[in-house]
Structure formats: C-alpha cells, structure tokens
Amino acid sequence: MKKNNPIIAIVFWSLVSFLTLFPIYWLFVISVKPAVQLFSTPDVILSDPYWGNYAKVWGDRLLRSYMVNSLVISTGNALLCTILGFFACYALSRFKMAGKESLFFWTITNRMAPPAVFLLPLFLLMTQVYAVGDFRLLDTRIGMILVYCTFNLPFAIWTLRPTLDGIPKELDEAAYVDGASSWKVITEIVFPLCRPGLAVTLILTWVFAWNEYLLAATLTNFNARTLTTGLSEYVTTTGTEWGIMATISVFTLIPALIVFGLVQKHIVAGLTFGAVKG
Amino acid sequence: MQSNRLGWILLAPTLAILFFFGVLPFIYVVYVSFHQWNPFAADPTMIFNGADNFRKIVFDAEFLNSVGVTVLFVLFAVISELVVGYILAQAFMKEFPGKAIFRTIHTLPLIMAPIIVGSVWKLMMTPSIGIIPHYLNEWFGITVNIGTSPVAAFATIIIMDIWHWTPLVTLTLIAALVSLPPDPFEQAQIDGANKRQIFFHITVPMIAPAVVATVFIRLMDALRTVDEVWMLTGGGPGSATRFVGVHIFKEVFPKTNYGYGSTISVIVLYLTIVACWLLYVTMLAPRSKKD
Amino acid sequence: MNTVFKLAASALALSFAAGMANADDAFWKEAAAPYQGVTLRGVTESSPPSLYIREVLAPQFEELTGIRVDIETTSWDQMFDKAIKDMEAGTGIYDMVYIEQDIVYSYLARDFLTDTTQLLADNPALKAPTYDEGNFTTFADYFRGENGHLYGIPMEAFIKIYLYRTDLFEDPEIQASFKEKTGRDLAPATTHAEYTEIAKFFYEYGQENDLQLWGATVQGHTGHPASWYEYVETVAPTFGIYNWGIDADNNYAATVANGGEMNSDTAKEALQWWLDLRQYAAPESNQSTWTEVGTTFGAGRAAQGLVYGENAGWIAADDTKSLVVGKVGVALPPLADGVMAEVEGGEGYIGYYDGGAFGLPSTSKNKEAAALFLEYIGQNEVQPDWAVAAPRVTNTATYDDPKVQDMNEELGGYYDMLRDKGYLFAGAPAYPFHAQLREAMAPTFYSILTGDSSVSDGLDKMAEIAEATLTELGYRK
C-alpha cells in the first residue's frame, strides 16, 4: 500500500463535501426564511432562523397523510420489486430457458419509456379495466405500488442479475444432492448470500419510488397522494410558496436519510454490477 | 438441475406486472400513434391516418432539435459523471480519517427527488437574486443569466445532473475497484509498468463491465429527464433545454396532441432501445457468454 | 398563506355565528336530505380563493348539510390535465372542476359541463332562495353557453392592472429630478412612451443610488407561456391588437395577407416596445412567470409594472410576503392613441379580465348535491369574508360590504377600479383551441425573446404557424 498524506485527502474531501452539501444547505436556508426575505440579496450565513414553515407543514393534516402514503407506497414497492427481481434473476441465472437473454433485455426496456404519454393509457386501464364493482385501481396505494414496478422492477433485475450470476451454481447443486427442496435452496442458501445486493436494490428502488412525481401527480387524487405531489400544491399563480416547498423537501429527506443510513455499509458490497470474480 | 417450469413460475409475477402495466399501455400508445387525435380539435375523435404521423416526424424541426439537445446533454452529463465518479472512487480507495463520513455525505444528493433538485437549483440560479449569480457577479464580475443565455442554462442543467447522479457512479465504481484482485497489479509493478499502462491495460478492462452497467442505467434515466428541467428552465431559453422528455410533455399535456405525442414517444422509445441494445450487445453480452 | 389562514379562521368563526341566525338553514338541510352520505370531489388550482373553499366553505357546507366536500388542490398545469382526462374518459371522479376563463370554450365545445341554469330549473327543490344568477358581476357572462345559460359558478375574478410604487412616485426629490430630466411631472403613464420613460428613469435612479430597484416588471420567461400571455393579453390590446390578432369571423385568419393582424406593423410595434422594456426591468424578468413578476414587485425591485390582480392583493396588503405594503397605487395600463375610444365604442379591450369558475362535469354522478354546493359558494352571504381572505369579487353586492371597502383602501383602490373600469377589460377570446394554439406558437415566441428571431420574422412565422395549426385542428377551412 502506498503512503498517503491524509491532510491532502481531507482537504480534497472537505472541498467536495462542501460542493455536495451546499444545495442541501440552501434548501434548509430557504425553509427557515420568511417569504418576505427570500427575494432580497442572499446571505450565505444563516441568521435568525424562522420556524414558521415547519410548524405549518407539521400541523397540516393533509401533508401528514401524504407522508404516510409515500412511506407505504415506496416501502411496499421496494419490497415487491426486490423480491420479484430476486426470483426473476434466480430464474434467469439458473435455468436454460429459451430466449431468456432477450427476455432479460426486454424487462429493462420498460424503464426506458418516456412517461408522459403512458399516463393516458394507465389512467384508462386503472379506471376502467382494473376495476371491480366500485373499486378501481386509480388513486389507491396498491395501484401506485404496482405502477411503480414499471420502472423499479427493471432496475431491480438489472442490479440483481450480476449478484445472482456471481454465486456459484455448485452451491445449489450440492444442496439438491443433499435432498433440499427448490424453495429451501432459494430461501436458505442463495438468498442469504445475496444480502448486500438485495439491500442496495431495496434502498435504491425505495429512493426512486419515494421521489417519483409525474405518475403520482396524475394517478392519485385524494387517497393515495404522495409527498412529492404535495409539493406541486405550492406552485400557484399567486406565488410559489418556496418556504413551504423547501420545508416539505426537508421532510422528504429525513426518512430517505434514515433508510440510507441503515444500509450504508451494504451499499458498496452490493453494487457489484458484474465486477465479481468469476 | 430442476426443470424450466420452476424458472417460469419464478418469472411469472414479474412478467405479469410488466405486461399489465408496461405492455398493455405500450400497445395502446402504438395504436394511438397511427391516429390523428386531439380532444380539442374541431373533430375530437380518433381518426386513423396511417403512417402520416411517422412521416411528419422526420421533418419536424422542433422534435429533431429536441433530440439533438438531449443527445448533447446525455453525452456531456454521463461522460462527466463517469470521469468525476472515477476520480472520486479512486480517492476513496485510500485510507484517511473520516472516510465513512465523507462517503455518506457524498451519497446524499442521490436521495433527493428530481423535482426538489430542480426547485433548489432554480432558486440558487434565479438571475440577480439567486446566490450563485449574485456572488459570481459580486466577486468576479461575471453575469450569469439562465433566462437569456442558452449556454448558461444548458451548463447549469449538466452541472445539476452531475451533482445529482455522480454519487451513483462513484458507488458502483467503488464496488468494482474494491473487488479487483490485487495480483495483476502487483505483477505489473514488478514488471516495471508505469501508472498509465496499468490504468489502460489492467484497471480499465477489469472494471469495464461495471462501468458499462452504470452508464447503461444513467443513459436510460438521463434520456427521460423531465422534472428537474421542467422546474429549472421549462425548456428555455428558447428551445435550448427542451429535451425530448420536456418536448413530449408539452405535446401531450398543454397541447393535448395525443396522436402525434404518442408517435413521438414510440420513436423515442425505439431510439432509446436501439442505443441501449447496441451498448448492451457490444459491451456486456460477450462477457456474459464467456462466463 | 399566513394571512389567508388567519383570515380564514376568523372568517370561519364569523360565518358560523352568522349561520346560526340564518333562517335559510332550513332550506339547505331539507334540500340536502336525499344526499346524505354523498362525498363531493372537486379539483382546483391551489390558489388562495380555492384554498378558502377547501379550508372554510367546504367544512361549513358539510356542517350545514351533511354532504362532505373533498377539494383536491394542485398546480396549474396538473389541474387541467386531470380534469380533462376525467371528463374525456367519462370516469366521473370529479363532481366539480375549476374552469379557468380561457378554457371554458374548449370545455363547452366538448359538452364537458352541465347546464346549471337548466339543472336548477328542472329541480325546483334544489333552488336555494339565497342563490340568484343575477347576483354575479358581468364576469359570469364568460361562463354562459350559446343559450345564455350558466355553465360555471364564478369563484374568482381579477383584472391585470398597472401597479406603481406610491412612495417613489410621490417622493418630492424624485419628482423634482424626474421633472428636470424629462420636462414633465411624474405620474403613472398613460402612453407607452411615458411608461418607457418612467422605466428608464427609475432604472437609472436605481443604478445611480446603488439600489436593488429597476424601472418595470416584465413577465418575460424564455421557456414558459407566461411571456406569451403577457404579450397577447396585456401588451397587444393596449396597441389595439385584440384576440391575439386572429380574426375569428374571417376563417380564423392570422396573417395580414389573409386579413388577420398577428403580424401587422402595429403588432410588431407592440412587441418591440415590450421587448425594449426589458433593458430597464429587473434581471430576473427573463425567468419570470406571473409568479415571479408578483414576487419582484412585492420585493420592492420594480417601480411600476403590469401585474395580475390576484397578486395585487398580497403585494399591497400582506406584510408576511411583501415589502411594499401600503406603497402601492393602481392605474389603468398605458394605451396607444385611439384605443380607449375604440374600447368605449364596444370594440376591443384594454387588458385582461381573468378568473375562473367552478363547473359541474357532465360525467359527475352527484350532480344534484354538487349543484347545492355550487349554489352555496355563489351566495352573496359568503362573499365578503372570502374577498377579504383572497382578494376576488364575483358578486356585485360584495363591493358595498364595509369589510371589502376597507380592503379597497388597503389595495389602493383596486376594487373600485374592478367595479368601475372592469368593463374595459376582457377575458381570453372565445377559442375552443386556446392551449393547443398557444403551445404551437410558443417556441417561435421564445425564439423572439432570446433574439434568435427578429420581431418581424418571428411574428410573420407565428402567424403562419397559427394558421397552419388551425387548419390542422380543423377550425380553419
């Protein structure tokens, strides 16, 4: 190992961290400024913070329900995508199914669609086709969980495939020889070995779902509205409520930060993307 | 080895969901793309017009312009993210105090919603009052106005994208670098190879799969960028940042041009798939065959 | 927002108190009896008048009638998309949709809306004694169909006016300096040349004194239709170019060659005047929509400006958001020679009369209950508190309310102007293709703003695009 001067590294990283943190810091500054001060000459240093926006956002019954919806939808979607993605990748990696590589690529293409134009058919399907009696999928949490699969499931499959490919087939085969069932092999042998990859997939799909805006804005109305759609309520013809928007943004960051913090150590281990020694 | 039936059973839920929420809408969009349909036209019904929309698109200067700026944006953004991400990943390979904290800080932009990123950058970049133009002017006498300068607007969007997404690239490259076996490097040093030779002949080939996989994800996502740009410039000044995503958005939302908007989407999706497919078969598929 | 909610809360208390004594309670309870358990759903833009409906009028109505009202508030562009998707697909999600004045013709052309006049005539049991179409100001006429029936209950109405800073305009030193420089007295401009002169004067005044002050606001966003709106709705009419320069009676002609005016010399002069103003306007004007224009003025960064009436309220009176409270005067926009005579003679208009109504989609499954709610928000009785919370007037009687009179003082006489001069202003032309045509022309318009096209070439091209688009849409034969 080479000898490095830690001072240089620390100075370098402090600089990079400053650039990384500044916009986030600025978001916070906006959230604690009264509206009247926002459009005067900007001060870098924060003085005399104003917490009125936080009181307002926290006291807003609707925003609290949006927060719950966001949590349920992104957690449900991330779990669903990670588990289904794991099963799918296991199948793609272990079986010699005809056309499986094309199938693999096809699943990924679902993420490439420009979303704007797909809103209309999704709206029609979710109001008229995916409906039983009075129940329709539009504006439901389960509906959003399923819709988000269109971009998160491909991502999960894309990140998990190398992980699954990296686990030697001999392990499964040895277990089968010992008389283990398929279910047991998948859940008790392969699954634990994939943990880092699964953790990363879980967190990144969670973040993508948590941050999604356009689909949620169109496909929810009252019951399943998410925090990001709550943001758009503050862009109005009589002025954008930047302070409130920034405060909501800070609130959206907190759960994301917690979830990210929890799996931080797995992230690097999980993002192997085919660099595994095979 | 078990039967393929189990494989299909494991794949079934994935395929079912993608069929009901991906394929069916896609079929609908393809169907609409062969029609003239604007609910606020004199005739608001769907009128079949064959391949007219597809013929029109070839001569549609606005659409072609949007494809041009998108490609430019994707090239600049993804390459910059790759370079910056690699430098940062290499920097993380060394041990130094506070590494874990710095790494956590570096991942923070990833967790921000694009619509929030766009809002923050808009406030930071508002001509004259935003903190960046304000201090650039006060300290260096440079005037930056994303409302008048296409270059400033375009550069801001690229910097914003780099800020937002480089962490993803860094993380995946760290993962790749961590898992590199030490032997080839030691051998090369013994053989007297210089840094450049080691980089091009050993490091690059070994991390190539991870690089390509990352580029693939970024490429896909950058091509559909809408939220940030919508918040920051709305596609302006002029059409300087009217990326295809924004263009389609304007075509189907305010203009309610469902027919032609669908055609554009089908074409854009097709071009994206082709670009990604080429990347996939040339860079990734050969490697997995070797395995 | 602060004030809105404070006012809303007090208004809530007041109206409950008033409600107790109201003899008409019996009507609402009886009329609503068949609709117990119904939940009405509406979609609207999250503007202060709509928030007042969500926070005050809807709960009040539920208290009185037992009918629950959920109001979804969202952003301007999302709102249209959601309402249109629902009505186009016939889903029946919404029982009430916000109709901005400029989209009503599109909705009427598609029979998206219920004829409320007919509905109430057919169901006498629903007709509230306190509701009368005759109570509305003339703004309601924009929501009438060809049969003269009302298809939307007006809920907000504003005019886009000329705001100026009274503290600057009335400062003796500034007045003297202005007189010295220009040879005339400083007063709100009545002509375009005067307006530019004042803009230039205050621009220089700001520069010389190192102030964050500029000569005018310009709603000049280079990638958002707000700039196009300012030109066609606010600037062009003051030069005598009405209805976007399109002649609807002449096969929707736009080019001069075909009998339109979009690229006439006057239109070019109007656009050039407006573009030239930008050199004296605050630097953010190239990124300004209606929102930022209000913010710029409210932050005290402009000496004068053409500002939407919905922003005049908070700029003049809300000290949590505005730095110029009590320093705002209102005037009519500057006009070219002969325009006022033309407008008084019944042809054309001098500026934009905007606002919106709540309509009842034809696809609603709760039309009767929704009609009750629309009548409720259309009553004279609920108007004054609403006008105080979110400055808008839709009923004639509202002007005379003492609370609204006080507000009028605070707003520098804005309500007086709305009442007395409102007839000089007009809403968007009766085009069923409003947003479609706007978006087709917008990119060319932006290229004029960025200087990629000259004014003359740009307007020529815009007029051609307008005709081509109208032909494609099937309106121009």
- Domains, chain C, ranges and CATH? 2-158+354-412 (3.40.190.10), 161-351 (3.40.190.10)
pLDDT-wise least confident of B28-37, B162-171, C45-54, C96-105: C45-54
Averaged pLDDT for residues B102-119: 89
**Chains with at least 3 CB pairs less than 8 angstroms from chain B:** A, C
Closest approach of B215 to chain A, Cα-based (Å):
11
With CA atoms as reference, report the closest residue to A159 among A202, A214, A101, A116. Answer: A202
- For residue A123, what pLDDT is reported? 94
Confidence check: pLDDT of C3 > 80:
no
Helix, strand, coil percentages for chain B (3-state, nearest 5): 75, 0, 25
A225 chain-C contacts, CB cut-off 8 A = 72
Domain span including residue B87: 60-290
Interhelix angle A61-94/A141-165, rounded to 10 degrees, is 40
Residues C261/C252, Cβ–Cβ less than 8 Å = no
b vs e for B227-260, b when ≥16 Cβ sit within 10 Å of the residue's Cβ? bbbbbbbbbbbbbbbbbbbbbbbbbbbbbbbbbb
pTM: 0.91
A130 and A1 assigned to the same domain: no
A197 and A183 assigned to the same domain: yes
Closest approach of C442 to chain B, Cα-based (Å):
9
A138 chain-C contacts, CB cut-off 8 A = 91, 93
Helix (H) or strand (E) holding C416: helix C414-421
Q: What is the pLDDT of residues B90-108, one digit of tens each?
A: 988 888 888 888 888 888 8
Confidence check: pLDDT of C403 > 70:
yes
Share of chain A above pLDDT 90, in %: 39
Residues B247/B62, Cβ–Cβ less than 8 Å = yes
Q: What is the ipTM of this complex?
A: 0.89
Structure-token pair, residue A89: 């990748």
Residues of C (194-213) whose Cβ lies below 8 Å from A: 212
> Is B218 a member of any domain?
yes
Binary contact (C286, B256; C-beta < 8 A): no
- For residue A4, what pLDDT is reported? 61
Residue C428: which pLDDT band, with cuts at 50, 70 and 90?
Answer: very high
Closest approach of A250 to chain C, Cα-based (Å):
19
Q: What is the pLDDT of residues B12-23, one digit of tens each?
A: 999 999 999 999
- For residue A197, what pLDDT is reported? 85
C-alpha separations of A120 from B25, B253, C43, C159 in Å: 8, 10, 18, 35
Confidence check: pLDDT of A216 > 50:
yes
Binary contact (C1, A244; C-beta < 8 A): yes
Structure-token pair, residue C203: 């621009």
Domain span including residue A25: 1-50
> Is B17 a member of any domain?
no
Closest approach of C477 to chain B, Cα-based (Å):
11
> Touching check for B176 and chain A: CB below 8 Å?
yes
Binary contact (C450, B238; C-beta < 8 A): yes
Share of chain A above pLDDT 70, in %: 92
**CA angle, C468 as apex, C467 and C472 as ends, to 5°?**
115
Binary contact (A245, B25; C-beta < 8 A): no
Nearest by CB to residue A127, choosing from C91, C291, C314, is C91
Measured in degrees and rounded to the nearest 5, phi and psi for residue A3 equal: -85, 135
> Touching check for B133 and chain A: CB below 8 Å?
no
Residues B89/A7, Cβ–Cβ less than 8 Å = no
b vs e for C376-405, b when ≥16 Cβ sit within 10 Å of the residue's Cβ? bbbbbbbbbbbbbbbbbbbbeebbebeebe
> Is A278 a member of any domain?
no
With CA atoms as reference, report the closest residue to B242 among C452, C342, C153. Answer: C452
With CA atoms as reference, report the closest residue to C367 among C123, C108, C45, C101. Answer: C123
Confidence check: pLDDT of B47 > 90:
yes
Average pLDDT, chain B: 89
Average pLDDT, chain C: 91
A198 and A248 assigned to the same domain: yes
- Which residues touch B90 (CB under 8 Å, ≥6 apart)? B177
**Rounded distance, CA B268 to CA B263, Å?**
9
> Is A276 a member of any domain?
no
B39 chain-A contacts, CB cut-off 8 A = none
- For residue C17, what pLDDT is reported? 46
Binary contact (A218, C89; C-beta < 8 A): no
Residue of B nearest to C445 (CA): B238
A12 and A128 assigned to the same domain: no
**Rounded distance, CA B218 to CA A206, Å?**
17
Residue C347 CB neighbours (<10 A): 11
Residue B289: which pLDDT band, with cuts at 50, 70 and 90?
Answer: very low
Residue whose structure tokens are 């105080």: C388
- Which CATH number covers residue A226? 1.10.3720.10
Residue of C nearest to A222 (CA): C72
> Is A232 a member of any domain?
yes
Confidence check: pLDDT of C4 > 70:
no
Q: What is the pLDDT of residues A147-185, one digit of tens each?
A: 999 999 999 999 898 888 888 888 888 888 888 888 889
Closest approach of C76 to chain A, Cα-based (Å):
7
A94 and A165 assigned to the same domain: yes
B104 chain-A contacts, CB cut-off 8 A = 261, 264
**Rounded distance, CA A143 to CA A133, Å?**
16
B43 chain-C contacts, CB cut-off 8 A = 474
> Is B5 a member of any domain?
no
Binary contact (B28, A277; C-beta < 8 A): no
Binary contact (C45, A240; C-beta < 8 A): no
> Touching check for C81 and chain A: CB below 8 Å?
yes
> Touching check for B243 and chain A: CB below 8 Å?
no
Measured in degrees and rounded to the nearest 5, phi and psi for residue C200 equal: -65, -45
- For residue A276, what pLDDT is reported? 44
Averaged pLDDT for residues C64-87: 90
Residue of C nearest to B146 (CA): C287
Residue of C nearest to A234 (CA): C46
Averaged pLDDT for residues C155-178: 95
Domain count, chain B: 1
Write the single-letter amino acid at A115: P
Confidence check: pLDDT of B285 > 80:
no
Confidence check: pLDDT of C22 > 70:
no
Confidence check: pLDDT of C10 > 70:
no
> Touching check for A222 and chain B: CB below 8 Å?
no
Confidence check: pLDDT of C411 > 90:
no
- Which residues touch C295 (CB under 8 Å, ≥6 apart)? A38, A39, A239
At B38 the three-state DSSP class reads: coil
A214 chain-C contacts, CB cut-off 8 A = none
For an interface test with A, which of B115, B135, B228 has the most A Cβ atoms less than 10 Å from its Cβ? Answer: B115
Does the bond joining B237 to the residue before it have cis omega, within 30 degrees of 0? yes
A180 and A231 assigned to the same domain: yes
Confidence check: pLDDT of A266 > 80:
no
Averaged pLDDT for residues B261-288: 84
A180 and A72 assigned to the same domain: yes
Residue B286: which pLDDT band, with cuts at 50, 70 and 90?
Answer: low
Closest approach of B120 to chain A, Cα-based (Å):
6
> Is B101 a member of any domain?
yes
Burial class of residue C221 in the structure, from the number of CB atoms within 10 Å of its CB (0-12 exposed, 13-18 middle, 19+ buried): buried
> Touching check for B275 and chain A: CB below 8 Å?
no
Share of chain C above pLDDT 70, in %: 95
- For residue C290, what pLDDT is reported? 87
**Cα A94–chain centre separation:** 28
Could you say which of A50, A73, A91 is where a domain stops? Answer: A50
CA R_g for chain A? 23
A46 and A57 assigned to the same domain: no
A260 chain-B contacts, CB cut-off 8 A = 107, 110-111
- For residue B287, what pLDDT is reported? 52
A245 chain-C contacts, CB cut-off 8 A = none
**Rounded distance, CA B241 to CA B234, Å?**
8
Residues C446/C224, Cβ–Cβ less than 8 Å = no
- For residue A275, what pLDDT is reported? 46
A46 and A58 assigned to the same domain: no
A237 chain-C contacts, CB cut-off 8 A = 45, 47, 76, 290-291, 308, 310
> Is B29 a member of any domain?
no
Closest approach of C337 to chain B, Cα-based (Å):
33
- For residue A142, what pLDDT is reported? 96
> Is A175 a member of any domain?
yes
- Neighbouring C-alpha atoms within 13 Å toward the C-beta of C473: 29
Q: What is the pLDDT of residues C331-383, one digit of tens each?
A: 999 999 999 999 999 899 999 998 999 999 999 999 999 999 999 999 999 99
Residue C476: which pLDDT band, with cuts at 50, 70 and 90?
Answer: very high
Averaged pLDDT for residues B162-181: 88
Confidence check: pLDDT of C8 > 60:
no
Domain count, chain A: 2
A78 and A197 assigned to the same domain: yes
A197 and A60 assigned to the same domain: yes
> Is B37 a member of any domain?
no
B248 chain-A contacts, CB cut-off 8 A = 114, 116-117
- For residue A44, what pLDDT is reported? 76
- Which CATH number covers residue B83? 1.10.3720.10
**Rounded distance, CA C13 to CA B111, Å?**
43
- For residue B290, what pLDDT is reported? 42
Residue A238: which pLDDT band, with cuts at 50, 70 and 90?
Answer: low
- Which residues touch A265 (CB under 8 Å, ≥6 apart)? none
Helix, strand, coil percentages for chain A (3-state, nearest 5): 70, 5, 25
A71 and A89 assigned to the same domain: yes
